[in-house]
Amino acid sequence: MAELRRRKRRRDPLLKRRPRPDPAPARKTTSRAVELERARRGGLLGSLRILGPGLITGASDDDPSGIGTYSQVGSQFGYGLLWTALFTFPLMAAVQELCARIALETGVGLGAALRRKFPTALVGACILGLVAANIINIGADLAAVAAGFELLSQGRLKELWLVVPVGGAILATQVFATYDVIFKTFKWLTLALFAYVFAAVLAHPDAGRTLAATFIPSFRGSGDYVMALVAVLGTTISPYLFFWQASSEVEAMRAAGQVTEARRRGVGKLEMRAARLDVLVGMFFSQVVMYAIILTGAAVLNAHGRIDIQSAAQAATALKPVAGPFASSLFAIGLIGTGVLAIPILSGSAAYAVKEFFGLPGNLESKPSQGPTFYLLICAATLIGMALNFLHVDPIKALYWTAVINGLAAPPLLVLIVLLGSDRALMKQRASGRLSLGLTWFATVGMTLAGLALIVFGWVLPRLH
């Protein structure tokens, strides 16, 4: 019978096979997946090519708020909190990997993914807290960048005079520069952080105390110590990093040609492996810098009785082992470089969170006319942050307190993110496994307990006495 049908078709061309349905269009291979394949053949230099959102996110974690916090912690408690760098590395890496995985699997940013699963009011409250924390952080980082320029000018230019032009220049770059230019600039700005790694080596820290403090956690039952711990956790596992990581992954997919949400949804093994490598390298880089700043502060400041940093100039003395008389200039360049890196990420992550929550158009790759609300959010966050500087708050203290605020704001968001990542109906085969669940829940519970301890030791017990 089959042979008879074949003969009939040869004789009569109008008798054709029933057309088979077209297969579903394969997901377009992303640039990251292609770069990973090239990296396998390119060795170490090839591997560096795939670093992007994770590296920039990790570097932005060591923003002026981080520098101010780690310097303060090192000067106040010496080597006592070195262990936090090693302790928080797997936690922050797991959290950022989860945020990247959610974006890669769902094809949308964190704000949109959270809004689709959880009550609108709950997610809205968390995003409102994120926006408030980011604006305060922007204000503190702008003050730090202005303080850096004041150090470079040796006091001839006053910090308060510089806040507006610095903020305006950063804002203009975000609005008018292309995404590709912004992305490449961010990558180069990460180099400013290596000064602290060299400083830690040249500070000649006590080897025995350094080794012990790195691997053996120490605790003190005092409000100052608990506040320092919350500040370290807050500036290491910061809420704005969650949204920036996810939004950056979505932007990378858009740049690879996956314009629609349907084409972005779902992630292959190769792309997931590339994202994980990017996140791990970025977080490792962040923690190395964090460790170096605390160690330098302990060896240079605490060891010489300087236990309370009141200004950027005092914090700059931590770099004297590597820079000598140029310590102030080097510290100033570090503040400026990391601030210029972090401020756009803070305002951008706030804008992404709000626009994803409300389903609004716009991103850093689009023109202002294509997403006016998105750019208005960036402008509003930056302008309010600039206005906060006229309250005459000391920049180093402000940087420290923004870290504390981030530490208190992170736990509610972490709960939602961990629950979202473990939802198999949404995440399918990319739902969190045991290791991810263990690390992310540990980070959530640990930050919650640290925040509660801060309330008890910092406010409740002092009032009882």
Q: Is the pLDDT of residue 188 over 80?
A: no
Q: What is the mean pLDDT of residues 415-437?
A: 93
Q: Could you give the percent of the chain with pLDDT greater than 70?
A: 76
Sorted by sequence, the CB contacts under 8 Å of residue 413 that are 6+ apart come out as: 126, 129, 130, 239, 242
Give the tokens for residue 259.
Answer: 């314009």
Q: Tell which residue, 296, 392, 389, has the closest CA to residue 67.
A: 296
Strand runs (DSSP E) across 333-419, as ranges? none
Residue 76 CA, chain-centre distance (Å), reads 26
Cα distance between residue 239 and residue 127, in whole Å: 9
Sorted by sequence, the CB contacts under 8 Å of residue 319 that are 6+ apart come out as: 195, 196, 199, 296, 327, 330, 331, 334
* pTM higher than 0.85: no
More confidently predicted of 362 and 329: 362
| pLDDT for residue 300 | 83
Q: What is the mean pLDDT of residues 434-445?
A: 95
| pLDDT for residue 21 | 40
Q: Which helix (H) or strand (E) holds 285?
A: helix 269-296
pLDDT per residue over 104-148, tens digit each? 999 999 999 999 999 999 999 999 988 988 998 898 888 888 888
State the DSSP code for 203: T
Per-residue exposure over 98-114, b if at least 16 CB sit within 10 Å of its own CB, e if not: bbbbbbbbbbbbbbbbb
Cα distance between residue 260 and residue 107, in whole Å: 8
Give how far Cα 111 sits from Cα of 137, 241, 272, 336, Å: 20, 13, 21, 30
Domains, in order of start, for the chain: 49-464 (1.10.4160.10)
pLDDT band at 43 (very low <50, low <70, confident <90, very high): low
Q: Is the pLDDT of residue 296 over 90?
A: no
Please check whether residue 293 is in contact with residue 65, taking contact to mean a CB–CB distance below 8 angstroms: no
Q: What is the mean pLDDT of residues 226-245?
A: 87
Please check whether residue 87 is in contact with residue 223, taking contact to mean a CB–CB distance below 8 angstroms: no
Q: Residue 103 in 3-state DSSP? A: helix
Cα distance between residue 172 and residue 252, in whole Å: 22
